[in-house]
Structure 1
Amino acid sequence: MRRHWTPLAFAYLGLAIVGLIGTWYFNVLAIIQMRDYLGDLATSGPAVSSFTVDLLVVAVAGSIFIIVEARRLRMRFGWLYVAGAAITAFAFTFPLFLAMRQRRTTELARSEL
């Protein structure tokens, strides 16, 4: 069973744990302080910190996925999607990568016919 756990799987698992602990720390803090969670999203507070940790962990996991998947599919310049996120937004570069990944997998599937 252990043979299925690759270093990449452990990295994703570690990020999942960081995401859970990081977000729930701030969620519990908001509950203890009896904060208006939705109101805090607009005005600051623990809810914003929880949301920030949430997005940061997703961006790191997504960046790892982009690099690994681009290499696996032999997509050139995969690192540009990660670098581009710093200039634009991960909300732009990740879906863009997924679109280009879909094009590549379709291309590979058609070349096998």
Structure 2
Amino acid sequence: MNTTPASARPTTGRGHLTLAVIWSVLALVGVTATWAFIVQFFADPQGLGYVEACFDNPASSSAAADVLVVAVAACLLFVVEGRRLGWSRWSWLLVPATFAIALAFTFPLFLALRELTLRRRPSARQA
């Protein structure tokens, strides 16, 4: 009987692949959902600029501030964790992509790529 808590056990190579697929699906859903609304907005902006519309009322201002703080934190994660994983050449590309495309796309994309990288590591293959 294994008494090690599940959270402390290493993820298997297969587990990394499963998570990578889930994160990839979420990235596709994220880019599709956000851009569906962005296209609608630019088709009929109702006199508001995009940033102005994000802060049009207290509810949208709360959501916009929430997303902006998480986006900055995610960008720091992309760069710091990217260096740890040996991605220092390209992980910084996720920073402008976060603001040009969508955090809902870049964050799960980063997590999918991270899982694939971890899957290739020898410690993942041993589990």
Q: Which has the higher contact order (CA 8 A, sep 6+)?
A: 2
Give the Cα separation in 2 of the matches to 1:54 and 1:86.
Answer: 14
Partner AA of 2:63 in structure 1: F
1:15 aligns to what? Answer: none
The number of residue pairs the alignment matches comes to 70
1:60-83 deviations in whole A, cap 9, x for unaligned? 001101110000111240001112
Deviation at 1:86, TM superposition (A): 2.6
Tell me, yes or no, if structure 1 residue 73 matches structure 2 residue 85: yes
* 1:83 to 2:100 alignment: no
Q: TM-score, normalised by structure 2?
A: 0.50
Structure 1 runs, 4 residues or longer, greater than 3 Å off: 109-113
Tell me the secondary structure at the aligned position of residue 66 of structure 1.
helix
Measured in 1, the distance between the counterparts of 2:81 and 2:111 equals 10
Q: Say if 2:119 and 2:125, in contact at 8 Å, map to a contact too.
A: no
Q: Match of 1:97?
A: 110
- Give unmatched runs, 5+ long, in structure 1: 1-43
Aligned to 2:9: none
Which runs of 5 or more structure 2 residues have no equivalent in the other structure?
1-55
Structure 1 residue 111, shift from structure 2 partner: 7.8
Give the counterpart letter for 1:71 in structure 2.
R
Change (3 A) 1:57 1:111: closer
How far apart are 1:45 and its partner, in Å? 1.4
**Normalising by the residue count of structure 1, what TM-score does the alignment of the two structures yield?**
0.55
Q: What is the CA RMSD across the aligned residues, in angstroms?
A: 1.9
Q: Which residue of 2 aligns with 1:49?
A: 61
